[in-house]
Chain A
């Protein structure tokens, strides 16, 4: 087993709260009666409805795995029907991002009949790198860790930037979430297969599976699995948030520093989440497009916390009902983890490709008090994994001095939230930085 080569500066040790669900095997949720499939579940160009669906609109019959929407743009990923049934609505629907986005609502017929187009892509030996990329793209696979960047794009680096290392991200550094942990325990072979496919597609030399050392069972399973592999190793990562952040993970596993403002391919690395590896494996081995995922439903507000495998498009309401419903004391509903997840005004939002968890926090865990003036303790400076000055950037943004915010490297912030977490004055630092970043982008695009 590889050990971390270096440690990244900064980071925090929040209460992990993973014990509620880390020992619970993944349960498959029965097919929901209704799914809502947004046309945008990824970073990049939104999908356009396919002609046949659009033409018939309501009433058209679809099969499981049938493509519903696509976009010709390179940075995009198609979406597929997660169930078989009838399209009952096409129109704007609430999205976890907090907006209304064009979506297809399908009523399940309960039969789960798969589309004829679903068939295995072939075995890995016979597939070319291009075949793999095409399969991944057609399956609509995006980064399942939450960033939802189309996976085939990461598998298509420009020729002048050869990739030698593929890193599989099993850090799962967000508190509460255990979905990746369970996937590593229960779908480890798929992870290995997916990794091999990526290595082949990229012509890489080496694969590294990085797992935080608070998941010793996952480390052990992965380690046993790769024992026979010459070029694949497991790396035990120190448990520290945000260990799973792209740049931190690359730094700790390979010692390479991704230059500010650049992508990992700049240092010859591509990394993918464990869930993405599983999805790629299923796409190649079974021809299955990305229509379901594993997510953790947890938090003190959930009656029966669980790791659930659900069809995409299932409404959070239905998933929560499957987990025994919410407690009266629930005060915050979050899609994703507690550090970077999005709080929702209502549970009527669909599970999308990037939904790694549904978290219900109660009045006991939700911080409501107001912030007080900055005492310049600089704890935010010392926890920032990007080595920024969060308090100064936030102050500049608050004063509308976006030039200064930019000079203080606001654009390098990836919004992990360590600064807001640690602040004794409870200043929403990362919120101000987000405002600053949005303004800087607006100005630079002019």
Chain B
């Protein structure tokens, strides 16, 4: 028998799943692939360049901040960079992308202590900083209009308002168009189809909880039906319109499900999703500013610790400790 004092002693369990932070983040990147591909198909090379700049900036800034050579590291910076790119207009100037991506990593994440410690969704922090700093490049009528399968077309030359700008504008697009994504908007938010494919895969892999996107979408739909005013055909159609218009899909599937900034309890996740949907619709229906989903999620991020605290699940065979 060969034992030379090298036996490792540790607390059980002695086996671990192969999943790591890096593998989970890689899965999120894979889930974003359909949306990224649609962005390129719809908005051409400008979309591709914006994505590359955003991802590289995020990874480089994080690597420098952490003084790590491996710029992919745990993959979370790449996810932040790609998410930010997908919620930008395709033709946004390159320096805006750099500033947004760097702020997302530094102000959104690293100043709080890095991965696991940030309170707000980093990509949305990046977006908000851009909106308040260079509104002219980020909102209003500058949204690129898609030119499907025209990779070489410079979409910055043709811009228009999103369907949310006005009811008159909205009714010019059909629901199938909005579902596929051939409408003006942020480059990764327009295709509900591509986002849903990624979302279903993430739920299947067990990385995201259906309660968040489910609660979010259901609330948006119901409020859209009840309070939407039925301008889009009828009340039911108006509910569907709110679901596929603007950033609801990408937000519900990829932003509101960010691990770090959302509740960990099953009940808390449902509340979080519903809350996001509620605030989104409050802003859309009665607010004066755009950016409904962005602020909805950021506000709910701030409430996350409180939600977790009030939704501690009863244990199996439950007796309530706090009573």
Contacts and interface: CB of A to CB of B under 8 A. Distances in A.
Given A346-B3, A372-B115, A260 B316 contact: yes
B133 interface: no
Contacts of A391: 264
B24 interface: yes
B12 interface: yes
A262 B21 CA distance: 37
Interface string A314-353: 0001001100011110111110101111111111000000
B260 A376 contact: yes
B291 interface: no
B15 interface: yes
B315 A387 contact: yes
Interface stretch (A52-60, A81-89, A404-412): A404-412
Contacts of A262: 317
B207 interface: yes
B308 interface: yes
B115 A387 contact: no
A375 B3 CA distance: 38
A291 interface: no
A382 interface: yes
Interface string B1-27: 111001111111111110111011000
A118 interface: no
Contacts of A339: 12-15
A426 B12 contact: no
A46 interface: no
Interface in A418-446: 420-426, 428, 430-431, 434
B11 A430 contact: yes
Contacts of A331: 6-8
B154 interface: no
B16 A367 contact: yes
Contacts of B23: 424
A368 B7 CA distance: 12
Contact of B17 (A14, A340, A345): A14
A387 B313 contact: yes
Given A340-B13, A376-B260, A320 B1 contact: yes
A261 B318 CA distance: 9
A377 B15 contact: no
Contacts of B57: none
A153 to B, nearest CB: 21
Interface string A28-47: 00000000000000000000
A386 interface: yes
If over half of A's interface residues share one DSSP class (helix, strand or loop), that class is named, otherwise mixed; here it is loop
A337 to B, nearest CB: 9
B314 interface: yes
A14 B313 CA distance: 25
Given A375-B115, A381-B265, A426-B20, A257 B321 contact: no
Contacts of B317: 247, 257-262, 412
A388 interface: yes
A373 B1 CA distance: 39
Contact of A366 (B12, B14, B259): B14
A430 B264 CA distance: 17
Contacts of B321: 406-409
A434 B13 CA distance: 12
B21 A389 contact: no
Contacts of A344: 7, 9
Contacts of A423: 16-17
Contacts of A257: 316-317
B2 A326 contact: yes
B266 A381 contact: yes
A421 B13 contact: yes
A343 B7 CA distance: 9
Interface string A388-414: 110110000000000000111100100
A373 B6 CA distance: 28
A128 B114 CA distance: 67
Contacts of A258: 317
Contacts of A333: 7
B312 interface: yes
A376 B2 CA distance: 42
A379 interface: yes
Contacts of A4: none
A385 B316 contact: yes
Given A328-B2, A415-B12, 4 more contacts: A325-B1, A339-B14, A347-B1, A387-B315
Interface of A: 8-9, 12, 14-15, 175, 247, 251, 257-262, 317, 320-321, 325-328, 330-334, 336, 338-347, 359, 361, 365-368, 372-379, 381-382, 385-389, 391-392, 406-409, 412, 415, 417, 420-426, 428, 430-431, 434
